[in-house]
Amino acid sequence: MPTWLQAGGEATLPDWISAISQLLFLVIFVLLFLGVNQRFQIYMWKGGIKAKLAILEAMARDARERTRRFMLENRGRNVDDVLTRVIDFFVIPPVDVEPIDIIRRMDHLFSVRRLRLRHLFQSAMPEADEYVRSRAETAGEIAGALNFIYKYVRHLLILGEKTRNWILIMQLQLAMHQILRIAETLRRAMDDFLKGAPVGDGAGPMVALELAGPDAEWREVEEETVAAEADFEGRRLVVVKAKGPASSVGRPGLAVEKIVRDLVARGEKPALIVTVDAALKLEGEESGSIAEGVGAAIGDPGPEKIRFERISAEYGIPLRAVVIKMAMEEAITAMTKEIYEGVRRAVERVKEIIRRETRPGDLVVVAGIGNTVGVA
């Protein structure tokens, strides 16, 4: 108790300041003990998450509306119904507890999904050509991805509020910057796909075009996948890529497997298989830089990649990989100058590998992997 109060004397200004300070200290101590500071922090986190969640919702709605307008501009029918079905479309992964024939089952499910989505857009846009429909299909998938991001973030926020899980809310707030970055990248990607601009992931097909040359005669060997033959310093090249310029990655693994089996059946076993694809770079690495290795360079869940591995192992054909490094943003948005320069370097690296590891007269299969939107 203050000395002036004990003595019954008159309080001075310093006495009042001391008394108020002690009272405030006591109140703050009680509030800290009751966790009020933590609740205030959670309130601030929730406010930040809700503000960013509104941005995600606006992105998802805008993506759907722009896809809808694009389809209507190309005489689409029942557009709203188609988009509702596409945006919430999903694939249930096959059972992996029993791994036998899991690749075959996965390939079947992905094929059913691809054909189902294609049928939806064909029925909705019967007067549009394949190129336009493929762009609309990709835009629909981007709209679906943005919608899922929005709904999942909302789910985590509501779950954290219901269970009063401040750790979940804190983690979500810390991750929101990265989530918004991904969503913004998808939004920009939609612009480029709707315009039909080549994207960074088209680096592999562009390498294939450079190796085949401008006069190459392309033939369709598999669904949305073409091949052409070219000569390089006495070596015979069989170059494979997705058809283009529609938004598609084709079936490169299936195409190469078919080509190799046909060649071997004619007594023309390839001396080398080279795959070229885009690869995500690490932070600090230079965009467009080149790396080489062994294996199948293809960002595939499994069905296409394993075909490269199986066919090369079955016939003892060396399987080489060349990648052009880029950020995720660069992979799905319009191709930058750095990535294009990386394509030119990748062409030279592939030529160097062919020179070093084969001899004149040998047969080499080169597969350019990636999305061929805008790449004829």
pLDDT digits (tens, 9 = 90+) for 168-177: 999 999 999 9
Residue carrying the six token digits 């779950």: 159
Contact yes or no for 328/241 (Cβ under 8 A)? no
pLDDT for res 261: 96
Lowest model confidence (mean pLDDT) among 28-42, 52-66, 277-291, 312-326? 28-42
What band does 33 get if pLDDT is binned at 50, 70 and 90?
Answer: low
Strands 272-280 and 319-326: what pairing?
parallel
Give the C-alpha separation, 335 to 68, whole Å: 25
Confidence of residue 135 (pLDDT cuts 50, 70, 90): very high
Pinpoint the alpha helices (H) of the chain: 3-7, 13-34, 36-73, 79-87, 102-124, 130-163, 166-195, 203-212, 252-265, 303-315, 328-332, 337-357
**Residue 42: what pLDDT?**
76
The pLDDT confidence band at residue 166, using thresholds 50, 70 and 90, is confident
What is the DSSP secondary-structure string of 300-324?
-SSHHHHHHHHHHHHHT--EEEEEE
Rounded to 5 degrees, what are φ and ψ at 3?
A: -65, -35
Q: Quick one: angle between helices 36-73 and 166-195, nearest 10?
A: 20
pTM of the model: 0.84
Kindly give, in sequence order, each residue whose CB lies less than 8 Å from that of residue 366, ignoring residues fewer than 6 positions away: 207, 208, 211, 237, 238, 239, 240, 273, 274, 275, 276, 350
Coil, strand or helix at 223? coil
**What is the DSSP secondary-structure string of 28-68?**
HHHHHHHTHHHHHHHHHHHHHHHHHHHHHHHHHHHHHHHHH
Q: Which residues fall within 8 angstroms of residue 309, CB to CB, at 6 or more apart?
A: 295, 296, 319
Share of the chain above pLDDT 90, in %: 76
Cα 120 to Cα 122: distance, rounded to the nearest angstrom: 6
Quick check: 244 pLDDT over 60? yes
Query: Which pair of tokens denotes residue 323?
Result: 């990648």
User: Which pLDDT belongs to residue 6?
Assistant: 53
- CB within 8 Å of 132: residues ≥ 6 apart: 74, 125
Which position has the token pair 């006069």? 215
- 350-360 pLDDT, tens digit per residue, is 999 999 999 99
User: What's the whole-number mean pLDDT along residues 13-39?
Assistant: 66
Quote the CA–CA distance of 106 and 96 in Å, as a whole number: 10
pLDDT at 368: 96
pLDDT in tens, 362-373: 999 999 999 999
**What is the rounded CA–CA span in Å between residue 50 and residue 157?**
8
Strands 363-368 and 272-280: parallel
Q: What amino acid occupies position 82?
A: V
